[in-house]
Amino acid sequence: MKSNKTLLYGLLSVFWLMFILAAYAWSHKPFSAAEFAGLLLAAWRMVIVALILSIAGGLGFACLRGQAQQPLSDGILQAALGLGLMSLLTLALGAVVGFSLALFGALLFAGLLLLRRQTLAWWRTWKTLALGWKESGLFEKATGLAVLLILASAWMVAAVPPVQFDALTYHLAIPRAYLQIGRLVYLPENMFWGMPEQTEMLYTLAMSLGGESAAALLGWALGGLTLLAVFSYTLESFGRRAAWAAVASLLAGETFALSLSWGYVDWAGMFFGMAAVIALRRWLTRKARFDLLLAGALAGMTLATKYTAGVLLLCGLAVILTESRTLGGRKSLQALLLFGGAAVLVSLPWFVKNYLATGNPFYPLLFPAADMNAVRLAFYQKSLAPRPWSEIFLLPGLATILGIEGKSGYSASIGPLLLGLSPLAALGWRRRSPDEQQTLRLSAVATLSGFLIWIIASRFAGLLIQSRLYFAFFPAWAVLAGAGFDALGQVKAHAIRFGRIASVVVMLALDFSAYAACQDAYHRNAWDALLGLQSQQQYLAHNLGDYAEAMQALRELPPGSRVLMLWETRSLYCLPVCDPDEVIDRWYTDRRLYQTPEQILAAWQEQGYTHLLLFQTGADFVRLHHTGELPESDWQALDALLASLPTARQWEDYTLYLLSPASSK
């Protein structure tokens, strides 16, 4: 009786305190309604992301028969398998039933209800991270705080409207088009539709419930899972300090840190790639057929994120071949077939999708099909001259030193630690335990075979020199870097503790990257947009300039309008009104198909276009810097056509033209 009275007093006290707090907030208003709405919307989007990951983790836990006490790497494998299965389910639903908010909401609710026990068990896997944090030393905690700062900065950018180029062109534009149409269909206006869409299916799911920013936040979460995968895998063989160094080696690259918020698929490819490496490690230890099938399936999921992410599939085959002496010829062949067969089976639906819609399973590559005619294909597959052999053999060093985000060539800043630390993993090899040696051998084979494929591919086409195309094997490279940090920490001579010097270098590189991430969020005004102090349109105008105003103008056109864009690839904010020039080949192609300006205009009108949006800055850049793409006669024909068209709107970078009298209504 006394305990009941005490409980009553406690509840009344809490209610009283909350009432006073609410009354005080009502009169003092710690934040405006716009700020509260912005934070509430961001919180809702994170709930959606957490729900998707929870169901994926629970589904994977059920499929792989997870245990109450399991290593962190088990949780990674379960999440990867669950996300892959959810993507395939979304693909099937979109093709057969269609996409709708009600359907996705009902499925997520049912999934959470049916898998509630497995989901809770999966989440319990991560409690060891909190326990490990308490036992961490100064280096681990300092590294962890820098990592959290990078993640927080990227989260702010991901939580506001997306502005990154490829997201506006296809990674988020294609899911938005699917949702507007209400089902998965062939999108002739965007040839990137033919690329594997495993991550885009997950983005479609998130976007249906929370908009584009929810999809970008899911991409951010996949990046976080990748870091956990690298951490857990390195931790189990080399310890906590090495695990943090491996994570730091990835995030010390500016491209890795900033791209967490972009809504791209690179982090997803790295996540599935690292999960495949973890499964391969288990197969090497136990030689169980199921582990090999799982590794193959995860490698197939890596390929399903991006064609070039299939490098991890080839890396896995190389790992199996290194075991041929132990397995023997027959078992090695069986292992190769099991691994490769599982990968093909899992990735097959994306090639079937392409074949059914276009007749080309590898659309838009290899041969003409559907809207990718021979002229367009030749234009798209034109390549820069391959790199000279003298550069190819120095590829890791050149990609590290010369690679700069957004610049030509390697086109990504991958940081100094991957190359700086990974060779040091060879130090003290004989002192390593068999478990450590096996982990190192696997990571080294995956990394070196990845570089070999990179070298060979870049000899066929200069564009294939870009670092981002091969990110799938970079987590394995990061594991080597973590092991190298650990090995250097064991070196002591003349009272010099080289591990402390390495710790300072790692923190310095990571802090530079953290500063760049914070600066990026600041310059984008992400905080103001998140709190509602800046409208979405103001935020887009701040980051995208005239593009934002032009897209708003297209959205305000009369019903029935259709806009053809020249030299502008980004369609996310004008769908479904606009057709993008996604590989900037529209004028090149139409000039060769229809020849004269009059015939080109008639063809556009016949196709139903009412307006033309010209990205003048893009056209001027191509005309000045890519003189071999279009002869002067093509530019003269364009000038003649534009001179015959009335102007509807004009900005500094864009001009909107009328293509027919009906469009002026």
Angle at 165 between CA 159 and CA 169, to 5 degrees: 100
Q: Are residues 554 and 597 in the same domain?
A: yes
Residue 201 counted as domain residue: yes
Written as one string, the DSSP assignment of 14-31 is HHHHHHHHHHHHHHH-SS
Q: Are residues 408 and 474 in the same domain?
A: yes
Q: Contact, 542 vs 280, CB < 8 A?
A: no
What's the rounded Cα separation, in Å, for the pair 483 and 239? 9
| Same domain flag for 505 and 580 | no
Give the three-state DSSP class for 260. Answer: coil
In a domain, 135, yes or no: no
* Residue 354: count of CB within 10 angstroms of its CB: 24
CATH of the domain at 568: 3.40.50
| Range of the structural domain that residue 650 is part of | 545-664
Task: Give, as one character, the DSSP assignment of residue 386.
Answer: P
The reply to whether 350 and 420 lie within a common domain is: yes
Measured from the Cβ of residue 504, the count of other Cβ atoms closer than 10 Å reads 11
Say yes or no: 215 and 281 in one domain: yes
Report the 10 Å Cβ neighbour count for 307: 15
pLDDT of residue 554: 95
Residue 301 lies in a domain: yes
Do 611 and 468 belong together in one domain? no
Letter string b/e over residues 75-94, b meaning 16 or more CB atoms within 10 A of that residue's CB = bbbbbbbbbbbbbbebbebb
Burial 281-290 (b: 16+ CB within 10 A, else e): bbbbeeeeee
Q: Which of 506, 320, 495, 484 is nearest to 415 (CA)?
A: 506
Using an 8 Å Cβ cutoff, are 480 and 440 in contact?
yes
Last residue of a domain, one of 523, 558, 592: 523
d(CA 193, CA 79): 26
CA–CA separation, 344 and 292 (whole Å):
14
323 and 252 in a common domain? yes
128 found inside a domain: no
Residues 231 and 329 grouped into a single domain: yes
Whether 518 and 562 share a structural domain? no
- Whether the CB-CB separation of 601 and 644 falls below 8 Å is answered with yes
Asked whether residue 222 falls in the same domain as residue 268, the answer is yes
Q: What is the CA radius of gyration of the chain?
A: 27
CA dihedral 484, 486, 488, 491 (to 10 degrees): -150
Which two structure tokens, joined as six digits, stand for 569?
């690839």
Rounded-to-integer distance, Cα 440 and Cα 265, Å: 27
Give me the helices (H) in 359-426, please. 374-380, 389-392, 395-402, 417-421
pLDDT at 275: 97
Q: Which positions of the chain have pLDDT values less than 70? A: 1-4, 26-35, 383-392, 462, 494-495, 627, 661-665
Residue 37 forms part of a structural domain: no
Based on the fold, state whether residues 428 and 553 are members of the same structural domain: no
CA atoms within 13 A on the CB side of 63: 20
Structure tokens at 6: 């005490």
What is the number of structural domains in the chain? Answer: 2
pLDDT digits (tens, 9 = 90+) for 182-220: 999 999 989 899 999 999 999 999 999 999 999 999 999
> What is the number of residues in the chain?
665
533 in a domain, yes or no?
no
Q: Is the same domain home to 213 and 254?
A: yes
Is 267 part of a structural domain of the chain?
Answer: yes
Is residue 466 a part of any domain in this protein?
A: yes
Contact 35, 29 (CB under 8 A): no
Residue 37 pLDDT = 75
DSSP codes of every residue in 446-509 = HHHHHHHHHHHHHHH-GGGG-GGGGGGGHHHHHHHHHHHHHHHHT-EETTEEHHHHHHHHHHHH
At 652, is the secondary structure helix, strand, or coil? coil
Q: List the alpha helices (DSSP H) in 64-115.
A: 72-96, 101-114
589: three-class secondary structure by DSSP: helix
The one-letter amino acid code at 504 reads V
Give residue for tokens 């730091």.
248
